[in-house]
C-alpha cells in the first residue's frame, strides 16, 4: 500500500470531497473506539468467569447472527441505501455498547447480559460491515477509488496499532476484581460508545450518497443472495480463495481469538496491558505490511496466490511458536511478524477482488469474504474455548499454527489458488 502523496491530484481531489472527509473522519474515530471493546470484552468475561469456554461462547454469540445475516446484509446493501443501513446499524451498536458500559460501571453486569449484548452486536455488525464496504464507492468517483481505499486501509491498520495499546493502558494491569477495575472496564466501553456517536454524526452529514441509492429489484433478497453465491462459485480462483480462507479461519481464527486473552491472563506480567500490547504489535505489523504490499505484489509478478500461501506457511510457524511464549516482548515480536505477512496479503487480495467483481455484486461478494473471517472465526472460538478444558494453551497454539502451515503448503498443489493474481486472456485480473 502506498498512500497518495500530498501533492498527488487524487489526494487533492479527496481532500476537496466533503462527503469523503466526513466518512473518513467518522470511520477513523469508530475504528479506534472498536479496539477498546475488542480488548475490554474478553477481559471482562475472563474476570467474571475465569473460563476460556465462556469467552468462546460470547464470541460465538456475536458470530452466529453475523454468520446467518451477513449475506442478507450484503444483498440489502446492493438494493438499498448503504448510508441508511450503516446509520441504523451503528446506532444500534452505540446503544448496546453504552448499555454495557453503564452496567459495568454500576456493578450490575452478569453473564446473561453479556451474552444478550454480544448477540445484539452480532446482528448489527452483520449489516454494518457490508454497508460500510459499499458506501465508499458512492462518495468518490471511480478514478479516486484506489487512493481512497489506500487511505482507509492505512487508517484501519493504524487503529489496530494505536487502539489496543491505549485500551490496555485504560484498563490497566492485574488489579483484582475491585471497583477500580470495573471503573476502568466501563470507561473502555464508554469510549467505544462515544466513538459510535461521532461516526453517526459524520454519516448524518453526508449528502452525496443519501439520495438515489435505493435499487429495488424484481427478485427477493434471498434470490439476490443466491445470485451472489452463484457468481462467486462460478469464478474458479475466487471460489478457491473463499474456500481456503474459510478453512484457515476455522482452524486458526478461534484459537487465536481465545488464546491471546488467556495467554495474557495466565502467563504474562501486565494483564490487560499485555493483551493490548500483543494486539498493538500485530496491528503495527499489519501497518508495515500494508506499506510493503504494493512493492511485494509487484515483485510477485502475477503469482499472488503462491505469495499468499508461502506467507501463510511462515505465519503458521510464528503462531505455533506462541506455545513457548512467557514474555510480553517475545509474544509481541512474533505477532508483529504475523501482522506484516497478513498486511501484505490482505491488501493485495482485497484489491484483486475489487478489480475482479462487478460493482452490482460488490456488496454480496464482500459480505461473503467477511463471512469467512467474521462469521466462522468466532464460532471456531467457541470450539477452541471448550478445547482448553482438555488441552493446554501451548498445545492449542501449536496445533493452530502448524495446521495453518500444513494447509497452506498443501494448497500450493491447487492450480486455482496458484492462479490468483495472474492475467486472464481478456486482460482482466484472474
Mean predicted confidence (pLDDT) in 266-285: 82
- The answer as to whether 4 is a domain residue is no
Tell me how crowded residue 73 is: count the other CB atoms within 10 A of its CB.
29
Burial of 101 (0-12, 13-18, 19+ CB in 10 A): buried
Only one residue has cell 467474521, namely: 374
**Nearby residues of 19 by Cβ (< 8 Å), 6 or more positions away:** 139, 206, 207, 208, 209
- The answer as to whether 425 is a domain residue is no
Mean predicted confidence (pLDDT) in 304-313: 89
Could you give the maximum distance between any two Cα atoms of the chain, in Å? 65
- The answer as to whether 426 is a domain residue is no
Mean predicted confidence (pLDDT) in 271-289: 82
Mean predicted confidence (pLDDT) in 1-7: 43
pTM, entire model: 0.70
Say which CATH number the domain at 163 has: 1.20.1250.20
Q: Please give the residue range of the domain that contains residue 344.
A: 9-418
Q: What is the pLDDT of residues 287-300, one digit of tens each?
A: 888 778 777 777 77
**Residue 423, strand partner residues:** 429
**Nearby residues of 358 by Cβ (< 8 Å), 6 or more positions away:** none
* Total domains, the chain: 1
- The answer as to whether 36 is a domain residue is yes
Collapsed DSSP state (helix, strand, coil) of residue 423: strand
- Of 2-6, 66-70, 232-236, 384-388, the poorest mean pLDDT is in 2-6
User: What pLDDT was estimated at residue 301?
Assistant: 67
Rounded Cα distance between 5 and 145, Å, is: 15
Share above pLDDT 90 across residues of the chain, in percent, rounded to a whole number: 20
Rounded Cα distance between 81 and 95, Å, is: 22
User: What pLDDT was estimated at residue 8?
Assistant: 55
Amino acid at each position: 500500500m502506498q498512500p497518495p502523496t500530498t501533492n498527488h491530484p487524487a489526494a487533492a481531489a479527496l481532500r476537496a470531497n466533503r462527503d469523503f472527509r466526513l466518512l473518513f473522519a467518522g470511520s477513523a474515530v469508530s475504528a479506534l473506539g472498536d479496539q477498546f471493546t475488542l480488548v475490554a470484552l474478553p477481559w471482562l468475561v475472563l474476570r467474571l468467569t475465569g473460563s476460556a469456554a465462556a469467552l468462546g461462547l460470547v464470541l460465538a454469540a456475536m458470530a452466529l447472527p453475523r454468520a446467518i445475516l451477513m449475506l442478507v446484509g450484503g444483498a440489502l446493501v446492493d438494493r438499498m441505501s448503504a448510508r441508511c443501513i450503516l446509520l441504523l446499524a451503528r446506532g444500534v451498536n452505540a446503544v448496546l455498547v453504552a448499555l454495557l458500559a453503564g452496567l459495568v460501571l454500576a456493578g450490575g453486569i452478569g453473564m446473561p447480559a453479556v451474552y444478550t449484548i454480544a448477540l445484539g452486536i452480532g446482528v448489527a455488525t452483520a449489516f454494518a460491515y457490508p454497508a460500510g464496504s459499499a458506501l465508499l464507492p458512492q462518495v468518490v468517483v471511480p478514478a479516486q477509488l484506489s487512493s481512497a481505499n489506500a487511505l482507509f486501509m492505512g487508517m484501519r491498520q493504524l487503529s489496530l496499532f494505536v487502539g489496543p495499546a491505549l485500551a490496555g493502558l485504560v484498563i490497566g494491569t492485574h488489579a483484582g476484581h475491585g471497583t477500580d477495575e470495573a471503573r476502568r472496564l466501563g470507561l473502555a466501553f464508554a469510549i467505544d460508545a462515544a466513538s459510535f456517536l461521532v461516526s453517526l454524526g459524520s454519516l448524518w452529514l453526508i449528502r452525496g450518497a443519501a439520495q438515489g441509492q435505493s435499487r429495488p429489484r424484481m427478485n427477493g433478497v434471498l434470490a439476490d443472495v443466491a445470485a451472489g453465491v452463484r457468481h462467486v462459485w462460478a469464478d474458479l480462483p475466487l471460489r478457491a480463495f473463499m474456500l481456503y480462507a474459510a478453512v484457515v479461519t476455522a482452524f486458526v481464527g478461534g484459537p487465536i481469538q481465545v488464546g491471546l486473552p488467556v495467554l495474557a491472563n495466565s502467563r504474562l506480567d501486565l494483564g490487560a496491558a499485555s493483551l493490548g500490547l500483543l494486539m498493538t504489535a500485530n496491528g503495527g505489523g499489519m501497518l508495515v505490511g500494508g506499506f510493503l504490499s504494493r512493492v511485494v505484489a509487484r515483485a510477485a509478478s502475477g503469482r499472488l496466490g503462491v505469495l499468499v500461501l508461502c506467507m501463510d506457511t511462515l505465519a503458521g510457524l510464528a503462531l505455533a511458536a506462541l506455545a513457548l511464549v512467557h514474555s510480553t516482548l517475545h509474544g509481541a515480536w512474533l505477532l508483529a511478524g504475523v501482522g506484516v505477512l497478513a498486511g501484505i496479503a490482505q491488501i493485495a487480495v482485497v484489491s484483486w477482488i475489487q478489480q475482479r467483481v462487478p460493482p452490482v455484486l460488490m456488496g454480496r461478494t464482500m459480505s461473503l469474504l467477511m463471512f469467512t473471517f467474521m462469521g466462522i472465526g468466532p464460532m471456531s472460538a467457541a470450539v477452541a474455548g471448550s478445547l482448553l478444558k482438555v488441552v493446554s494453551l501451548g498445545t492449542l497454539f501449536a496445533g493452530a499454527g502448524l495446521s495453518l502451515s500444513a494447509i497452506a503448503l498443501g494448497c500450493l498443489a491447487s492450480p486455482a489458488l496458484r492462479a490468483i493474481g495472474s492475467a486472464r486472456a481478456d486482460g482482466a485480473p484472474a
